Structure 1
Amino acid sequence: MKRRNLLRAAAITAPLATVGIAGGVGVALADTANFKVMLTEQVQNKVMVFDKNSSFSDANRYKSFSPGGGGWYNLSDCRIRDTAEFGAIGLAAASGGKVGIWNITSEKDQELNDVLWSASPGGNPHALERIPNVGAYVAASSDGYLTVYGPTAVSKPSTLAQVQKVTLAGAHGVLWDPNNKLLWACGNKVVKAYSVSGTYRNVRLNATSKSVALSGLGHDLQPDYGDSGRILVTDTYGVYAINKSTASKTRLHENTRIKSYFRTSTGEYIWIRGDNAGSRDWASPTLRMSATADRTRSGAEFYKARRYATAYN
């Protein structure tokens, strides 16, 4: 069986489960087989949101975020989270050096003037996550560390300031685990879990005993929306499911160069595989889907894909 068919077959046999529904400005209020995906596209350097069942054309664009160049060059991560003050906000990291959050307004397109906060953690930022209730954010930089930012008030992201740096070789992904109140992070040959202590400017990450060995450099860390008891991680050599309680690992696929990967609550797998071609060989113009026709945008270079919903799992 070809590798591509392995991915599709896994989706057919995967058990199904439901996840919570999250609202917010511009966020779909139903979790169905026809939902929206958000992607980092590095040629135009935009976060783009499309209905996954429609062509990825400009006419079908649901939302976008265009921060410009400079430190925002080569957007490497995107996701949305819910806040009491602003509703849904977008989170982004860029290999050019910036991380930040933007306000998802009722307008179709957001730009740099919609940014609520940004920082330059250094070291090729690859991911940004929000820790709820304390309003803290954690960035992963591939040069080898996690950077923690804490506010003086949850409702005032403009007060965020760096409060901690944690060494993690090859740091690429971060994901909050609301069930176990842990922050998971992937790096070079490892996935680690951190507990969180303190609030606001006193928030700190603390390493736990939960650590999972990988075969290569960890690339992406995302929820399994069909199973809240596990998370999904990709590395240089494959895709794995990690049981959050036992920290045990199960290999799902041996596909290489998988840069982004998640499973929906309906059991469909969605991924991006670096095509090893062109000036951005780590990216691809095509979003792969196990139960839906693939979507290709001519001239695009997609790096990360996310389910367009604010739920953590």
Structure 2
Amino acid sequence: MRRAAIALLSSLLAFVFLTVPAKAEPPPELVVITEQASRRILVLPANQDAWSAREYTWAWVPSAANGLGDLADGWVSPDEAKLTERDGQQYLMTTASGGFVGVVPYPRGTDAYWAANVGAPNNPHSIELLPDGNVAVAASTGGWLRVYTASQDPRSTTYVEYPLVGGHGAVWDDKRKVLWALGTNDLVALRVGGTPAAPTLTPVRVVPLPSVGGHDLQPVPGAPDQLWVTTESEVLRFNKSSGTFARRYPGASVISEPHVKSVTTNARTGRVLTASPQADHVCTWCTDTVALELPRGELTLRGAWIYKARWWQPQR
């Protein structure tokens, strides 16, 4: 009798273990870098073992194979890589100093949503896919923020332009329905009007920067009223409601450094990732090591020319 009871209990326990679904593992944290030595966009797991072994989960360049061979001459010094999502599809948004700008389906990497060459002299530095399907591009040497009518044609070169000295950042604000643009001296909120085929840009707010040389502009996940802003000398938080910049925020004592090229917050963990030039690097604006804070850490890809590094996740 006792043996029968033990056997029955064992059977029941086996049934429970077999029928209770295993807890799903969280997706691996990924980082995207603009690697200028090899002229590639690289996506890697956020752990040093993967970086040491060069275990890329995804790599991309414009080429004839993915339908962008005619624009590949503008793919010089890739300087922006962001992930966004639209209608259930994720996209790489990328620019290169040589003039290439594009929005490419991820992970397919082919059949670009939109791509163009805006010319090397303009030095495009950031890009944003807007809700109406058009694409905003900021260019530093060109000194402008443009909205291209990408909604009309995947190779459209029609645009509306707002003059912006040292254009470096573009971020859509869905709550306020404005496009934030960062330049050398100002942070500007632009109203996008007109129609998708004939857009207009109207400044509704111009906020002078507290220090010169605006460089990176990013949302702060979990804090919808905040924007990351980097300048030549510091990393700031901008409060959209008050119109003020803060130098005090979690991790500021180590996050805020001169010449930070990129900053993003992990939407799941709150960890902050930054990239800054390495003092002894052969490329004076590059690094092979990116910094993590909250908690502190670093990731090194030996020999790499990293300009920007971001968490590979939509930030809005």
Q: Which bin holds the TM-score, normalised by the shorter protein? A: 0.7 to 0.9
Map 1:268-283 onto structure 2 (within 5 A): 268-283=271-286
2:85 is matched with which residue?
Answer: 82
Which residue identity does 1:206 align to in structure 2? T
For structure 1, the residue ranges without an aligned partner over 5 or more in a row are: 1-28
Q: Which structure has the higher relative contact order (CA within 8 Å, separation 6+)?
A: 1
In structure 2, stretches of 5+ residues that fail to align are 1-23, 64-71
**Contact 2:96 / 2:123 at 8 angstroms: preserved in 1?**
yes
Counterpart position of 1:67: 62
- CA contact 1:163–1:201 (8 Å) conserved in 2: no
Q: Which has the higher strand share?
A: 1
Q: What is the distance in 2 between the residues matched to 1:63 and 1:183?
A: 29
Provide closer, same or farther for how the CA distance between residues 246 and 78 of structure 1 changes in structure 2, counting only shifts above 3 A.
same
Aligned to 1:40: 34
| 2:251 aligned with 1:249 | no
* Partners of 1:90 and 1:58 in 2: CA distance: 24
Whose radius of gyration is greater, 1 or 2? 2
In the alignment, is residue 306 of structure 1 matched against residue 286 of structure 2?
A: no
Map of 1:167 onto structure 2: 163
Greater Cα shift, 206-215 or 42-51: 206-215
Q: After superposition, what is the alpha-carbon deviation per residue over 1:66-94, rounded to whole angstroms, capped at 9, x for unaligned?
A: 2265211100001122122x711111100
1:270-290 deviation per Cα after TM superposition (whole angstroms, max 9, x unaligned): 100111434421110011101
Distance 1:203 1:249 in 2: 30
Aligned residue for 1:17?
A: none
Greater helix share, structure number: 2
Of 198, 204, 207, which aligns to 1:208? Answer: 204
In 2 relative to 1, CA 179–310 (structure 1 residues): closer, same or farther, beyond 3 Å?
Answer: same
CA deviation profile, 1:240-293 (whole Å, cap 9, x unmatched)? 000112221112555111101122243322100111434421110011101253
Match of 1:141 in 2: 139
Counterpart Cα distance in 2 of 1:36 and 1:150: 31
* Letter of the structure 1 residue corresponding to residue 303 of structure 2: G
Q: TM-score, normalised by structure 2?
A: 0.79
Offset, 1:59: 5.0
Q: CA–CA distance in 2 between the matches of 1:31 and 1:211?
A: 40
Deviations 1:81-138 (A, max 9, x none): 2122x711111100011111212235xxx4xx55343222231111111111x10111
RMSD across aligned positions (CA) = 2.3
Instruction: Report the AA paired with residue 45 of structure 2.
Output: D
Residues 58 and 179 of structure 1, relative CA distance in 2, 3 Å threshold? farther
- One-letter amino acid matched to 1:256: P
Q: Alignment partner for residue 121 of structure 1, among 118, 121, 131?
A: 118
Query: 2: CA distance between counterparts of 1:31 and 1:310?
Result: 16
Q: Percent identity?
A: 28
* Structure 1 CA distance for aligned equivalents of residues 102 and 199 of structure 2: 18
The normalised TM-score by structure 1 is: 0.80
Name the structure 2 match of 1:11: none
Measured after TM superposition, the shift of residue 210 of structure 1 is 4.1
CA distance in 2, matches of 1:304, 1:222: 12
Give the conservation status (yes or no) of the 8 Å contact 2:114–2:150.
no
Alpha-carbon distance in 2 for matches of 1:194, 1:30:
41
Contact 1:161/1:201 (8 A) holds in 2: no
Cα 1:159–1:48 shift into 2, 3 Å? closer
Name the counterpart of 1:101.
Answer: 103
